[in-house]
A and B are shown apart, each in its own frame.
Chain A
Amino acid sequence: MQVTAATFAQKLTYSKKGVSLEEIFKEIKKQTGYNVLYSPEKVDDTKKIDVYFKETTLPEVLEKVVSGQALEYTIDDKNISLKPKESTFLERLANRWASIDASGRVVDSENRPLPGASVKVKKTGKGVSTDKDGKFFLRGVEEGAVLVVSFIGYLSKEVSASANMGNVVLEQSLSKLDEIQVIAYGTTTQRLSTGNVTTIKADVIEKQPVNNPLLALQGRVPGLFIEQATGFAGTGVKVRIQGQNSLNNGSDPLYVIDGVPFISQLQSGGNGIVGNSGVGGAEGNPFSFINPSDIESIDVLKDADATAIYGSRAANGAILITTKKGKFGDTRVNLNLQSGWGKVPRKLKLMNTEQYLEMRREALKNDGITDLTLGAYGDSDLNGVWDVNRNTDWQKELIGGTSGYQDMNASVSAGNERLIFLMGAGFHRETNVFPGHFADRKGSVHFNISNSSANQKFKVQFSGNYLMDDNQLPGVDLTSYSVRMAPNAPPLFTNDGTINWQQDELERSSFSNPVGYTKDKFQNKTNNLISNLILSYQIIEGLDLKGSFGYNNLSSVINNKRLLESVKPEYLLYYKRSTTITNSSLNSWSVEPQLSYRKRIDRGKLEILLGTTILQNINKGYSLSAIGFSNDLVMDDIMSAPIFRPLQSTSAVYKYNALFGRINYNWEDKYILNLTARRDGSSRFGQENQFHNFGAVGAAWIFSNENFIKTRLPFLSFGKLRGSYGTTGSDQIGDYQFLSLYNPVNWDIPYQGVPVYSANGLNNPYLKWEETRKFQVGMDLGFFNDRVILNGNYYENYSSNQLSGYNLPSTTGAFGITMNQPYKIKNSGYEVLLSTDNFQLKNFSWKTSINLTVPKSLLVDYPDIFKSSYASTAIIGKPLTAQTVFHFLGVDPTTGVYLFADKDGKATNSPDDAQDRMVIIDTAPKFYGGIQNSLNYRGFQLDFLFSFVRQVAQNYSFGGEFYPAGVFNYGSGNQLASLLNRWQKPGDMVSIQRYTTGSNLDQAFNNVYKSDAAWTDASYIRLKNVFISWSLPAKWAKGLRLQNGSLFVQGQNLWTITKYSGLDPETKSSISLPPLRVITVGLKVGL
C-alpha cells in the first residue's frame, strides 16, 4: 500500500461484470496512458472480477484490482508495477489460519473411483494418495492453491483447492507410455517402469488366427524369439527371451497366468509329429490349452529388475498373462465369429517322372547294375512292378488339401462399484491338410467375478478358465512322404477303394503306402483348468494384505490306435492291433500371501511389498498298451484286448517355497529406485543347496521432468534413462535328479515271476541353483507429445553355475549327469522399439511400430575345458550354438565325388571328423524383429505385420534328408529338381556328386551335410499377419440395435520371402508340416 507517485489526476470510468484483470489493464492504458507492468507467472491476469468505476481515482482502482490477490503496486512515472505482496510475519500467520482442508474424490470418466491416485500441492510438493474410494483429504492448504491430481494410465490434471471439491475427473491417457503394464506382483506403466517390459494387448492378439496365444507375440516383442515347430494344431512352440542361457538344459521363460505360475512344457507322451517346444522338450505346448480370446494382455519381462522377484525361476525372463476382466457399466454382450481356410504355403520343386527315372537309370548305370532287383524293396519303380508313365504330384495329393478353421467366442460382462463380472465361452475347430478326417476341437469357458465390501476395504476376485481339447492327428506326418515318394509310385487306393500295396508276383508289397497311417487314430483329449482367488483387505490406510490362491489342473488322455491298415499284407503275421493309452495329470497349487504398504514420504512415494510363495506340483501319469484286438471297432475298450503291457509310469512331486520383497521409491516422478529380493527353496535340489537368495536393483531417471530439459528440448515430451542389475536363477531340470533311483522294468512274462528293477542313471546330491546375472541399460524417449516413442535397450546377461546335462563316457554307467557346470554363457544384445503416429487426422490415422533385436551369445569362460567332456565341442569365445563343420570344395571333376578340405586345406574325399572340421557355423539368429503398420480410414482398418529373421540353417539341397540322389528306398527316392545338376562324366563342373543306388557314396553324402555347403542363408521376411476390418457406422449399428459391429478378414503367414530351399525357414525342415497360411473372415458384434 505504498504509494510513491505525486499526482493522481487520472480517473477511470468502467463497469463490467466478470471482467479479467488483463482487460482492466487495457482500459487503464486507454483512459489514463499508464502502462501496467507485471510478470504473467506471478500475477494471474485471467482472474475475473466485477467492477463499477465512475470517475474513480487510479489508486482506488488499483486497490480494487489487487484486493483479490496478494499483490502490491507501485506507480512510477507513467508505469504501474504489480508484484506479489511480500507478506509480513503476522500476515503469514494470519494466512496460515486462513488455509483450508481440501477434500474430494478422484474418479475416471465413468465415475469409478481411482484409489491410489496422487493429489499434490503444486507449489509445495506436499501431497496425499486417494483411498479405496478414491477420496482424499488434504489438510491445511491455501484456498485456491493449485493441486496436481495424477494416476497411472491417466492424464494429470490441475485443479484449485477448495474445502469441498466433489469429483475430480481424470481422463485416460492415450499415450502408449501410460498403458498399464502388468509386472510381478503389481502394475506400472512404461513411463514409470524401471525395468524392461513389453506389453501386447488383446486387440493385437485378437487380430491373429492362431491356436496358441504365444504365436501372437511372434515378431512383435524386441528380445523375444518365438519359433513354431510345425503347422499342426497343438504344435510345439519354442520361446526364448534374450537368448539361450543354458547349453542344453531348460531355457524356457517363467509363465504366470493371473499371478499363478503355469508350466512351460507338457509331460511327454504326445504325438511326435507336432514337434517340441525347444530342444529336449516334450511334444506340443501347454499354451495350446489356453484360449487366446480370453487374454487381456501379455507382458514380457526381460531384465533383472522386472524378474528378480521371481528368483530362481526367472533366469530366462518371465511372461505374464492376464485374462480378461469384466467392465464397469451396463450389461454388454460381445460376439466374435470367424471361419477360414488353411493351406501349405509353399511347395518344393521336385523332379517329375521323366527326370526322376532319368536319375534312377543313370544311378543304376553308374553302379554297373544291369539286372534290376526284384523283391519287396528292389527296383520296383523300374522293373515293371510300377507303371513308368505315372506322374503324381505327391505334395498335392498328400499335403495339398485345405484345412478348415472355425472360431467362435461370446462373452457377457457387467459391473457396478461393488460387483463386476465377465463370463465367456469359446469354440474352436481346426482340421488339417491331409487326406482323412482329423480335427482339433476346443471348447472353453472363462469367468471372472470381483466383489468389494461396502467400505471398499475387503475385496475378493475369483476367476477361472476351463478348456477342453480333443485333438485328432495322424500317426505320421505325411509331409515327408509327399516330398520323398517317387513320382511314378502307384495310386494310393486300388479301384475298389482298398489300400493299394502294388504287390509283385510273389505278393510282396512294393512300397510303404502312407495312406494307411491316416487310418491310425491319434487322439489327445486334454482338460485344462486354471483358477485363482484373490482376497485383499485394507488393514489400515496404506497397508494391504492380499492372499492369492491358485489351482491348475492339466490332464490328458492320449489314445493312440494302431490299426492294421498301414501294415503291408505280408507282414500282418507279425502285427496286432494295439491301442496305447497315456494318462497324465498335473495338479498344481500355490498360495501367496502378500503385505503391501504405500506411503508418501517427503516428496516421493514409497511402496513396500512383502510376500511368500508356497507351491506344489504333482505330476502323475502312466501309459499302457492294449494289444491284440480282434477288430477295429472295439479298440476304444481296453477290456477287449487280450494283452496289456504297462509302458511307463510317472509320479513326481515338486515343492517350492519362497520369501520375497520389493521396495520402490519414486521421487516426484523424476527419480525412481526399485529394489527386489527373493529367497527361494526348491525340492529339485540336494539337501545342502536347497535355498538361495536372489535380488536386483533398478533405477530410472525421468529427465524430461527436469526443468532444464523442458525448456531446452521442448520437442522431447518424455525422456527416461534406466538401468538394472541383479541375479536370477533357474531350476529347470527334472525332479529327483539328486536322488539315485531304481525303476521297475516291465516285461510281458516276468523273469522267474520276479519284478525287476534297473538303475536310473547317476545321481548328484550336490545339485544347486543355476545363476544368471543380468545387467541392462535402456532409454525411453517420447517426441512431439509422445507421437514418436523410441525404446532402446542394451543387455548383458552372464549365466554361470549352469545346471546342465554333462555328457559322460559310458564307463561311468550313464550317458550323462545333471550337474552345475563351470562354464559361463554371456548373452548380450540390443533391442530397439520405435512406435510412431505418422498421421493423426480426423478420418485417417496411420501408426507404425518397428522392433529389432540384435542378440549375441558367447561361451565366455570354461575352466578346465580340456578335462571335461566338452573338450572337443565347446568353443570358447564362440556362440553356444556354434558348431564346426568341414569346408566343402565341390564335386571332384574326375571322380564325381564330393571333396572337402582337410585341416591343412588339402582336398580329400574322406575328411576326419575329429580334426578336419575347420569352419564354424553359428545357428543362432543374427537379428530379428518386425514391422507393424496400422491404418484407419473412417470405419476401415488395415493392420499388417512383417516379421523378419536373419539366420542360417541346414539346406537340404544335396539330396533328401535321408539318402543321396539315385537311391530307391521303400518307395521313396524323389529329389529336388535342382539335383539334376550332377556329375556325369570326368570334367563336369557341377554341384551334385554322381548318382548312385547304394551306400557306397554314403560317407560323402553324410559329410556334405557336415560341411559348410549345407549351411546356407535361411533368413526370411514373412508377412505374418494382415487384418482388415470394417466397422458398421454408428447409425447402422443403432438401427440394428447393436453397440457396435464389424466385419473382418484376417490372414496369417501369408507371404514369405526367403532363399531357403526347404519347405519352411522357420521349421527349417522339408519333412515336417510347415506353418499353414490361414485366412479367415469374421464378424464381431457388441450388443
Chain B
Amino acid sequence: MLRKISLIIALITLLLLWVDIFTFSGFLQLHLGISTKIILTFSIVVSSLIYLLPRPTYKLSHRLLTPTIILILIYLLIITIEGITSTGYILSHLHLRPEAMFYPVLAMSIFALSTNLVVKETTSIRLTTYFLVIALCYYLLRQLPIILVQSSILIKTMVMAPTASYDDKMRSAWGDFYDYMVYLKQNLPAEGTVLGIPPQRSPWYLYGNGMLVQYFVYPTTVGNIDFGANPSNLPPYLMQLSDWPPNNPLSVNDKWGLIKL
C-alpha cells in the first residue's frame, strides 16, 4: 500500500515538473510557491523511498522503462534541433522550452531506475549504489546533449559546404582578419621584410598579436610599434587599420591597407 501511494506521489511530482516547460520559467513558483528544483528534490526523495521499500515491484514501474527511454531520446532530439537551428526555434514551433526539459527528464530517469534496479546487497550499499546511479543519470543527461549538439553542428558544417576550400574554412574561423592576412601576404615582398603592427593591447589584441600575424605573413617578420612611446626607427612596412597608425589617411569606412615607408 505504502509503495503504491509513493508511486502515485512520484508520478504527480513528475507531471508537475512538465508545467514549467509548456508555460514559462517560474510558473510553478508563481502559482504554487514551489520552485522546480524543490519538486525535483522531492521526487528524488520519493523515488529513493520506493527503492528502499520491500519488493516486489509493480507492473507499472516496469512499464515505465520504455517510455522513459523514448522520453530521453525525444529530449536529446529536441536539444539537438535547437542546437543546430537557433535559440528559440523549438519554443516558436512546438511551444515548449527545451532547456527546462532537463529536470523532468532527469527525475523520470531516476524514478524509472529506482523502481527497477535491484541490487543484491545490504541496505546501506543499496542506498549508496542508488546515489551512484543518480550521479550517473545526471552526468549522462547533462553531457549527452552538449556533445550531440557539437557533433550535429560539425555534420551540418560538412553538409552545408562539402567542397569548401582551405581559404573558406579559415575565413569561417577568423572572418575579416583572415582576408586581411591574405591581402598582406600578397602585397608584401615574397622574399620577406619587416612589418610594423599595433601594440598588443585594446583594441588591437588580434591585429597586434605578432606570433599570429607572423604565421600568415612568413617570411616577413613582425614587430609591435607603439606610437605613444615615440619609436625612433620604423620598419619598411606598416599595417594600416582604420584606427592605426595614428593620423593615417585610411577612412574609417575602409577596413585595411598597407603603408610602405
> Is B one of A's binding partners?
no
* Residues on B facing A (Cβ under 8 Å): none
* Residues on A facing B (Cβ under 8 Å): none
